[in-house]
Amino acid sequence: MSPNYMRSFSEGCLRPPTVIGQFHTLFFGSIRMFFLGVLGFAVYGNEALHFSCDPDKREVNLFCYNQFRPITPQVFWALQLVIVLVPGAFFHLYAACKSIKQEDILQKSFYTGFYIFSVFLRIILEVVAFWLQIQLFGFKVNAIYMCDVGALEKKFNITRCMVPEHFEKTIFLIAMYTFTVITVILCVAEIFEISCRRLGLIKTQ
C-alpha cells in the first residue's frame, strides 16, 4: 500500500465524517485506552501474585486463580478494544483504497450505507462484549472466592481464597461497563446524526 493510501487510511480513522464519530474516536482512543492501559495494569498487574488460598501453597493458588480468572480482565478488554475497532478500520481501509474523501461519505448513498453498517457492527460487538463481561466477571468482585480443588485430590474439595483489592476491582468493572454503554450510545447517536444529515436537518460540513 502506497504512502498516500496509508495517510488517507490514518486520517479516516482519526477524523471520521461525523462530529459524533470524531468525539467517539477521541473518547475511544484516549480516555478508554488510557484507563485500561495505565489504571488497568495498576489494579490487575499483580493480582496473580497476591491471590492466596488456604492452604497457601503454590499449586493450590495457581489452580484456584486459573479457576477464578479463566481469562484476565486486561486481556479480555484489550481484545474487546481491538475487535470493536475492526469494522471502522475495514471501512476506512476500503475508503483509502477507493480514494474516497471523507466529505463524500455522507453524500453518496452506497458509502453512507457502508459506513452505517460498520457502525452497526461496532454496536453489536460492544453488546456481545458487554454480555461476555457479565458472564466472566459479573458486577462485583467478592473478597472471598470459594475454589473447587477436587481435581487436585485434596482432603477438602472446597477451599477459601482471598481476592486482593476486591473493592478497587469492583469499581474498575463498573467503569468498564460504563465505557461500553457510553460507546454504544455514541454509535447510536452517530447513526442518528447521519440520518439527520441525509434528511437535510443538519447541514453537511
Q: What is the pTM assigned to this prediction?
A: 0.81
The amino acid present at 51, given as its one-letter code, is F
Asked, for residue 201, whether it belongs to a domain, the answer is: no
| CATH code at position 155 | 1.20.1440.80
Asked, for residue 1, whether it belongs to a domain, the answer is: no
- Asked which of 83-92, 100-109, 187-196 is least confident by mean pLDDT, the reply is 100-109
How far apart (Å, rounded) are the C-alpha atoms in residues 23 and 30?
10
Asked, for residue 3, whether it belongs to a domain, the answer is: no
Asked, for residue 6, whether it belongs to a domain, the answer is: no
Band the pLDDT of 16: cuts 50, 70, 90: low
The tally of domains found in the chain comes to: 1
Parent domain of 129: 18-196
Instruction: Convert the pLDDT of each residue in 50-87 to its tens digit.
Output: 888 887 788 888 888 888 888 888 888 888 888 888 88
How far apart (Å, rounded) are the C-alpha atoms in residues 201 and 194?
10
Q: In sequence order, what are the beta bridge partners of 52?
A: 162
How far apart (Å, rounded) are the C-alpha atoms in residues 105 and 4?
18
Asked, for residue 10, whether it belongs to a domain, the answer is: no
How far apart (Å, rounded) are the C-alpha atoms in residues 82 and 69?
21
Omega of the bond prior to 55 within 30 degrees of 0, cis? yes
Residue 32 burial (C-beta neighbours within 10 Å; 0-12, 13-18, 19+): buried
Band the pLDDT of 9: cuts 50, 70, 90: very low
Asked, for residue 35, whether it belongs to a domain, the answer is: yes
Instruction: Convert the pLDDT of each residue in 137-176 to its tens digit.
Output: 888 889 888 888 877 766 667 888 888 888 888 988 998 8
Asked, for residue 145, whether it belongs to a domain, the answer is: yes
Asked, for residue 69, whether it belongs to a domain, the answer is: yes
